[in-house]
Amino acid sequence: MGSKTASGRSRELVPRLGAHMSIAGGMPLAVERAASVGATALQVFVKSSNQWAARPFLAGETEAFRAAARAADLHRHTVAHASYLINLASPDDALWRRSVESLGEEMERCSVLGIPFLVVHPGSHVGAGAGKGLDRVARALDASFGARPVEGIRPAAVSKDLAVLLEVTAGQGNTLGSTFEELAAILDRAASAKRLGVCFDTCHALAAGYEFRDARSYRETFRDFDRTVGIARLKAFHLNDSKGGLGSRLDRHEHIGRGQVGLEAFRLILLDPRFRGLPMLLETPKGEDLAEDRDNLAILREMVGR
């Protein structure tokens, strides 16, 4: 379907479009749900998103997931999303350590499942200051990868191919990651930077104040991203429309074309040849029949003639 560019990035003929899918009933069912909507990319949780504890995988569950993902051609385009409890920027040592340990556990679960990317929110500095928070995030990532060991925290045993992706955030409260400069600062401070990348969330970026809804502003925003972070660091997209407007700091996702992002911004991303081989994933509201995913994916596919 694609070839490798000089930089080694896959250059697909069409975008890899998918959605976040439930893992209820076992990890392999997430692949089945993705296939039912014709997805060519997939996002999952690898444990409960709102609990620290992770249930052990059932006998044969990881093997079945890997086989199903490969059969559906999703194995190289699957992304996991980390628990919402994790706060890598926390100034509280106990919570920070628990967050690092939880991240490491999720990294290991990704590795046994064959998932190449784990998306995580940088976290909140809770009033301690952005500089201190950014240092804490970089230190947490290094501890997880074993690049800078922390006493009492075991580095995660992970696949050499696993990358952790920092998500662009909407900038609510004291959360970090709503500016390209903050993401770049984490990457600059992390000894494990070669194992890190970025996930660009369209709802969050707009809410954070980045304009990219017409050709000119799109070029300027991604030129800014390339200058500060580096375009090669961008490994995945969350394609979400936004209930909030430009600079609103509101993290509320909306269906494609029904919010403030608008169709043109999605078209520009989908037709950008730099991003064709990357997972592009919906995180929009839906029911059990996944009808909303089908509708949103149909709108996106129409933009690229597929």
Q: For residue 187, what pLDDT is reported?
A: 98
Q: What pLDDT was estimated at residue 306? A: 57
pLDDT value at position 305? Answer: 80
Q: Please, what are the averages of pLDDT over each run of 10 residues along the chain (306 residues)?
A: 45 84 97 98 96 95 98 97 97 98 98 98 97 98 95 94 97 97 98 98 98 98 98 98 98 98 97 95 97 98 85
What's the confidence (pLDDT) of residue 12? 63
**Domains, the chain, with CATH or none:** 12-303 (3.20.20.150)
3-state secondary structure the chain: CEEECCCCCEEECCCEEEEECCCCCCHHHHHHHHHHCCCCEEEECCCCCCCCCCCCCCCCHHHHHHHHHHHCCCCCCEEEECCCCCCCCCCCHHHHHHHHHHHHHHHHHHHHHCCCEEEECCCECCCCCHHHHHHHHHHHHHHHHCCCCCCCCCCCCCCCCCEEEEECCCCCCCECCCCHHHHHHHHHHCCCHHHEEEEEEHHHHHHHCCCCCCHHHHHHHHHHHHHHCCHHHEEEEECCEECCCCCCCCCCEECCCCCCCCHHHHHHHHCCHHHCCCEEEECCCCCCCCHHHHHHHHHHHHHCCC
Q: What is the pTM of this model?
A: 0.94
* pLDDT at residue 6, rounded to an integer: 40
